[in-house]
Each structure stands twice: as C-alpha cells, then as structure tokens.
C-alpha cells in the first residue's frame, strides 16, 4: 500500500490501494438502448424535417443541408423539437441554430432530435471544401455563440459522421446555458479519424451549465475541448475512443465527470490551466499500445479523482499543482490535487454516499399515449387545462404528453394510476393562483417510477411539481422548476434549472447537472441524503444547508458570486454531514466571506475567505475561493484537520 501524506502527517492528499475496485453499475452505462424508437404523435408540435415544406430526403445521397437549415431557421426561440426520422441526412455546410429578434431570443430553445441514436445519422459529404482547409467554421452543428442566454438547446438521439477527407471538421460546437446539452449521441470522425474535435465547448466564454450523457466520440484530435472558467459541464456515461492528441483538453472549465471510459494511446485528460476544476469519478482510462510514456491525466489546476483506473499507462496522474507529482500506479481510490480542508476531526475520504442510476421507463408505442387535446384541452387559449389533463392521466394511458405550446394549469393535476411518463414536447406551463399547491402532484399509483420531462415552467410564485408519493420520481430536462416535497419517494434530477429554494426532509435525492439561481437559500437538506454531480448557483444566499443529521455530497459545484454582498455562509452544516467540492467565481459582484459554517454538538467553527485557522487558507479560484475537498462530517478513520499556514498550501511527501 502506498500513502501520500500532507504536512502535518495526515493522509488527506491521496489514497492509493493496489487492488481492482469493481463498479458493477457502470457496465450498464453507455450504449443502453433506452429509447431507440422515439416517435411523437402527429399533433405534438414536433417539426418533422421529412415533411413539407422541408421534405428532407434522408437517403444518404441527396444534399439535405438546405432543408434541415430551413427547419431550424423558421423556429427561433420556440422550444421546438426539430425531428429527424431514421435515415442518413447528407450535409455540406454547418447547420446553425436560429437567430431571433434580439440577443436574448437568439440561438436558444432549439432541440435537434433523432428517432434513434443508431438510425438517425447526419453525415458530412466527403471532401466538403469548407472542411478541408483552415476554416474557423468547419463545424457540423453550431448551436450558438455568447452571451449566456442560450437556454434549452439540445442534441438528442442521433449520430454525427464527418465523412471522408474533412480534415478540420468538428462535430458539435456546443452552446447551452442553465439547461440543455447533448444526450444519447454518437460522433464519429470519418476516414482515418481526422478532425479537430468531436465536441467543442471552448469556442465561446459562456458555455454551460450543460449535461453530456450517454455519448460516444470516435476519433478527432480531441473528443472534447473545453475552456474558460465560468460555467460548467457535467458528463456521465461518456466514451472516448481513438483520439490523436487527448480525449479531453480543458483550459479553465469546470468539469464534473462520472463514468468516463477512454481508450486511447494519448492522455485521457489534459487540464493545463490553473482555473481548471475537474472532478473525476468511477472512470476507466485504458491505454492502447503506443505513446504510453505520458500520464493518463495531466493536471495544472484543481483535480479530485475517486475510483480511477488507468490500465496500460505508466502513470495515472501527473499533477503540477503545488508540486510536480507523478502518481506512478494504475489504480487509485482517491486523489486530490490540494489538501483536505476540515474544521473538526473528519475522515480523509468523502461521505461516499450510495449512487443510484437515474431510473428509466419504456418509450411507449403511440397507442399508449394520451393528451389533453382529446379531452377538450387546448394550448395558447388562456383557459384552464387542468381538468382535461387529469382526464388524460385517468384514461389508462401510460404516457401523457403536452403538445408544444402554452398550457394553463389552474386546477391542480394528480399524476396517478398507470402513468409513468409525463412529457412536455418542450411545452410551457402557465400556472398561477395555486397558492401552496403545485400544478402537478405525484401521488401513489401502479407505476413504481414516474418521469416528468421536457417542460418549461412560467410562474415566479407557484410550484410546478409536488412529490407526495412513495414512488420514485425523475425530473429531467425541465426549466424553472419550483418543487414541493411532502412524500418520501426518491427524487432524481437531471438537467434541471430553477429560481426557487429546494427543501428536502427525509428524502433521498440524486442530482445530475442542477442549476439554482436565486437570492437566498438554495438547497436545504433536513435528515435526508442528497448526492449531486454538477451544481451551478448564482446570487447571494447559502448554497446548501445541511441539518438534523442530513448527509450531503457535492461533486463539482460552480458558485457564481453575482449580486450584492454575501452575508450568509456559502455552505452551512449544523449537526449534519457534508463533503463538498466546489469552486467560486467572482469576476463580478462580491465573493462570499464565510465559506463554511459548521457546528457539532454546540461548537461552532467558521471558515472564512483568506483567513487561517484550524484549517488551511483556502486557495483562490477565478476571483473567488475554492473548496478542493471539504470534509464536514465524523466517522470511522476521522483524523484532526491539517494545520497549514501561508497562502499556498504546502505539500510534503513521505514514503
């Protein structure tokens, strides 16, 4: 066993154990056929590119660039799904997200959706002139530019192929903010794997937060390029194969990664900017025969890795933060580029709460779908659609859909009976005058899992969803959600944004890519367990408060210190447990002064910005403060906090 020790003699920098750690749930990840025949009803408001007036052929021979581009351009800022039935759509120029009437309505709320990941293919014509030279715009899909108003952009369930001879091609120039991303997509560099990047998330300075899930990228110089310190990307179940320079090149972005599988003869991760903030969990980085002398991960910023293997590489990590440290093993339980921070006795490892995959339900055939249209409901007419929607739910259907448009809910709706999916087709919910009631109340029913997805809420005061059941509830790809938790059913959040407080009591919560932008407290955990991969917040107020024995685990937070003075602590722990990994950005506004307020058994300790105490002086990050790994809990193996002085954390290695 090899241990790396910090100054002070406590093992909180890195933990290495020479054994295989099996992670059975990861093998179910990337290529799951979760919904390989995605069809929508004819009245759902989905734009089928093969229908007039667009009439794309999808035959692999006809150039469909104009047809696809026209379908995009005619629906700016409309939350429309631009739908590609199975086929091969040949293009010869970039497909661009539509421009609206002003900056705030341009290049946003547009979803490019295929019928299936393997069947709906956008292919670049071989030797296309714009993709063979040094063009700066050699991109297949360009989702937008700065500034940061590009909410609800997404690419889903399709394959991109760069063809042959397009040597400078990039698959996707990503642009999504607060809510959106890329899901169930394959990106392939044609020919001999030439091309610049599968996905470019570094072409502008306002990309993210965004979720990248169930994605495979083959070839290119880089699978993913990321840059700039503001905002973040959350990656889960992502596979990168056969890159020529590195799988991921990061120059400053916050990346929250779980279950990355890289198979390459080059480094899996280059994070070479001091503001880069990477959390890497449960990943396997496999070296093919070739240039194995490089480390699998090369880091110059902030890095926290847990359960990481790198078979075939000589070194798993080369860390250039604080000291030039080469980790010359192939399996690690834990590594942190910076010292553990604690104010009380605490273990050297995180809480390590059990992680559960987001539940899935079958994509039903259309004869099991129902909508309020069949029961007198109608979008965009300002009449209460609650009764019609309730009738659709009680009709015996298992999927209930809201066609694209604005639906007014005045009479609350119960999600019950056999319904296991409420899908919005990117619809907007106008709910008002409900008081303490939510538009949708999930109650017990025959389906053990309920998924509510692809909705936009439009009420600053009324709740959208209440979990009042013992069933497992998934909220996915929804914007501006207000939530009430009165039941004890498990809650899963994926790619959700909100402007209201989330409060949990005795609940189990798993969240992936979660945005909460509001003044005041953002997340309150009382006696529950809350696990988060990727959190972004803005405005003053406590980011997470943990109380009454609650357990909170945050892997990768980006705290935007916008707005006025921050009088409340960033994190609050009162007789509860929390392990926290997060970085603050304070280019504008004022940074938090109190980073963590923790109390145990009547003893209160405060960790403040730039002040030494029982713990380290926290490192700076993008004008704010970084928490590379804060241990705010007791348990087996607890040791006193390290005593470190000076503005630079000192590291001492001992055999």
Q: Which tokens belong to 138?
A: 């050699």
Say how many C-beta atoms besides its own lie within 10 A of residue 534's C-beta.
Answer: 30
Give the pLDDT score at 570: 97
Per residue in 49-75, pLDDT (tens digit) is 999 999 999 999 999 999 999 999 999
pLDDT of amino acid 170: 97
Task: Mention every residue, 6+ apart, whose C-beta is less than 8 A from residue 360.
Answer: 32, 34, 449, 451
Opening angle at CA 200, ends 194 and 201, nearest 5:
160
CA distance 211 to 225: 15
- Note the pLDDT of residue 287: 94
pLDDT at 103: 63
**Lowest-confidence pick of 279-293, 308-322, 478-492, 632-646:** 632-646
C-alpha distances (whole Å) from 520 to each of 178, 375, 478 are: 18, 41, 22
510 - beta bridge partners? 492, 531
Confidence at residue 617, expressed as pLDDT on a 0 to 100 scale: 72
Higher-pLDDT residue of 329, 553: 553
Which has the minimum average pLDDT: 7-21, 43-57, 89-103, 490-504? 7-21
Strands 222-227 vs 438-442: parallel, antiparallel or unpaired: unpaired
Residue-wise pLDDT tens digits, 127-167: 999 898 777 789 999 998 876 677 889 999 999 999 999 99
Indicate the average pLDDT of the chain: 88
360-364, 401-405, 617-621: the lowest-pLDDT one: 617-621
C-alpha dist (Å) from residue 532 to 81, 202, 258, 304, 536: 28, 24, 11, 15, 11
List the domain boundaries for the chain: 1-28+245-337, 31-221, 371-500, 508-634
The tens digit of pLDDT for each residue in 429-459 reads 998 777 778 999 999 999 999 999 999 998 7
Q: Within its chain, how far is the Cα of 420 from the centroid?
A: 23
Give mean pLDDT, residues 502-515. 97
Question: What is the pLDDT at residue 34?
Answer: 45
Residue 197's pLDDT band, with cuts at 50, 70 and 90, is very high
CATH class of 31-221: mainly beta
Does position 21 have pLDDT exceeding 50, yes or no?
A: no
Question: Average pLDDT, stretch 314-339?
Answer: 85
Q: Which pLDDT value is given to residue 651? A: 28
Residue 235: pLDDT over 60: yes
Top mean pLDDT of 74-83, 128-137, 353-362 is at 353-362
pLDDT at 626: 93
DSSP 467-508: E-SSSEEEEEEEBS--EEE-S---EEEEEEEESS-EEEES-E
The DSSP 8-state label assigned to residue 346 in this structure reads B
User: Among residues 371, 343, 396, 417, which one has the least CA distance to residue 569?
Assistant: 343
b/e sequence 467-483, b meaning 16+ C-beta within 10 Å: bbbebbbbbbbbbbbbb
Q: What pLDDT is recorded for position 102?
A: 62
Name the CA radius of gyration of the chain, rounded: 24
CA distance 410 to 429: 10
488, pLDDT greater than 70? yes
Q: What is the per-residue pLDDT for 330? A: 84
Q: Residue 283: beta bridge partners?
A: 308
pTM of the full structure: 0.93
| Distance (Å, whole) CA 255 – CA 226 | 9
Rounded to an integer, the average pLDDT of 389-412 is 96
């Amino acid at each position: 066993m090899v241990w790396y020790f910090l100054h002070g003699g406590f093992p909180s920098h890195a933990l290495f154990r020479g054994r295989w750690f099996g992670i059975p749930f990861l093998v179910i990840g990337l290529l799951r056929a979760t919904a390989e025949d995605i069809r929508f009803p004819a009245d759902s408001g989905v734009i089928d590119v093969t229908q007039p007036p667009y009439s794309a052929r999808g035959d692999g021979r006809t150039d469909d660039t104009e047809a696809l581009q026209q379908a995009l351009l005619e629906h700016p800022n409309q939350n429309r799904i631009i739908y590609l039935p199975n086929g091969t759509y040949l293009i010869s120029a970039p497909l661009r997200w539509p421009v609206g009437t002003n900056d705030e309505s341009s290049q946003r709320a547009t979803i490019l959706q295929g019928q299936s990941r393997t069947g709906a293919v956008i292919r670049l014509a071989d030797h296309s002139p714009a993709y063979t030279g040094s063009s700066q715009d050699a991109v297949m899909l360009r989702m937008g530019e700065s500034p940061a108003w590009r909410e609800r952009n997404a690419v889903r369930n399709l394959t991109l192929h760069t063809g042959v001879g397009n040597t400078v091609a990039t698959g996707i120039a990503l642009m999504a903010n607060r809510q959106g991303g890329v899901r169930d997509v394959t990106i392939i560099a044609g020919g001999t794997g030439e091309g610049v990047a599968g996905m470019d998330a570094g072409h502008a300075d306002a990309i993210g937060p965004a979720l990248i899930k169930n994605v495979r990228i083959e070839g290119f110089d880089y699978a993913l390029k990321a840059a700039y310190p503001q905002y973040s990307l959350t990656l889960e179940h992502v596979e990168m194969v056969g890159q020529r320079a590195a799988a991921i090149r990061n120059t400053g972005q916050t990346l929250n990664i779980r279950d990355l599988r890289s198979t390459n003869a080059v480094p899996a991760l280059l994070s070479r900017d001091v503001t880069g903030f990477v959390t890497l969990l449960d990943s396997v980085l496999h070296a093919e025969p070739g240039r194995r002398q490089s480390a699998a991960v090369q880091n110059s910023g902030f890095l926290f890795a847990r359960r990481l293997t790198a078979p075939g590489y000589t070194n798993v990590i080369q860390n250039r933060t604080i000291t030039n440290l080469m980790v010359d093993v192939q399996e690690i339980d834990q590594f942190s580029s910076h010292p553990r921070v604690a104010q009380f006795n605490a273990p050297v490892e995180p809480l390590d709460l059990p992680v559960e995959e987001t539940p899935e339900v079958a994509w039903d055939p259309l004869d099991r779908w129902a909508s309020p249209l069949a029961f007198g409901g109608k979008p965009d007419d300002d009449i209460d659609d609650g009764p019609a929607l309730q009738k659709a739910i009680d009709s015996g259907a298992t999927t209930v859909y809201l066609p694209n448009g604005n639906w007014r809910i005045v009479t609350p709706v119960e999600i019950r009976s056999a319904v296991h999916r409420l899908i919005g087709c990117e619809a907007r919910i106008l709910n008002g005058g409900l008081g303490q009631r939510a538009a949708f109340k999930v109650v017990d029913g025959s389906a053990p899992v309920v998924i509510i997805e692809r909705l936009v809420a439009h009420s600053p005061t009324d709740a959208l969803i209440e979990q009042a059941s013992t069933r497992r509830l998934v909220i996915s790809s929804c914007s501006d959600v207000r939530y009430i938790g009165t039941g004890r059913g498990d809650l899963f959040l994926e790619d959700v944004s909100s402007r209201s407080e989330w409060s949990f009591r005795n609940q189990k919560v798993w969240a992936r890519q979660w945005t909460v932008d509001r003044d005041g407290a953002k997340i309150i955990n009382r006696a529950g367990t809350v696990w988060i991969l990727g959190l972004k917040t803005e405005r003053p107020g406590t980011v997470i408060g943990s109380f009454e024995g609650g357990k909170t685990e945050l892997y990768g937070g980006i705290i935007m210190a916008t707005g006025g003075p921050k009088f409340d602590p960033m994190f609050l722990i009162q007789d509860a447990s929390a392990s926290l990994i997060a970085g603050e950005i304070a280019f504008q506004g004022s940074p938090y002064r109190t980073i963590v307020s923790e109390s145990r058994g009547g003893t209160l300790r405060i960790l403040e910005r730039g002040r030494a105490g029982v713990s380290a002086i926290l490192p700076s990050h993008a004008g704010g403060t970084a928490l590379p790994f804060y241990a705010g809990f007791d348990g087996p193996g607890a040791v006193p906090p390290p005593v470190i002085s000076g503005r630079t954390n000192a590291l001492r290695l001992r055999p």
